[in-house]
Amino acid sequence: MSESDRVAEFTAFRQRLNERILGEDNQVIRRFFALDTQTYRAGVLDVKTKEMLGLVASLVLRCDDCISYHVAECYKAGVARDAFFEVFSVGLVVGGSIVIPHLRRAVDFLDTLESAAADEAPPCADHVAD
């Protein structure tokens, strides 16, 4: 299975199960999901900073799905590759070598996002200022 197929499959699973969970009549869980979304909205801190906070927290707690999610959100919010590696460095030093396998998968996922973006970019994209 290709990497992009794997991502597509995970995204479909994630969406289907979120619907199953939110379709259940359990108010605590529904409210938790709503709160989770609210947490990363812009406040005094902007979305970019909040998503980096979510990423480093996921990294030290070593949850691959959470890491992928926040890598994608950080990427959308404009976090640059070298900034990603600084976030990773904090997670690595705080969390220790036990974080390394998750760091590898995070970098692999970031590479996939960047490749996909490069493929989608128009021929002259490299002429455009970021």
Binding positions for a copy of itself, rule: CB under 8 A: 13-14, 17-18, 20-21, 24-29, 31-33, 35-36, 38-40, 43-45, 49-50, 52-54, 56-66, 80-83, 85-101, 103-105, 107-108, 111
Taking the complex as a whole, the smallest distance from the CB of residue 2 to a copy of itself amounts, in Å, to: 14
Q: What are the residues whose beta carbons fall under 8 Å from the beta carbon of 92, sequence distance 6 or more?
A: 59, 99, 100, 103
Taking the complex as a whole, the smallest distance from the CB of residue 51 to a copy of itself amounts, in Å, to: 9
**What single-letter amino acid sits at 46?**
D
Taking the complex as a whole, the smallest distance from the CB of residue 87 to a copy of itself amounts, in Å, to: 6
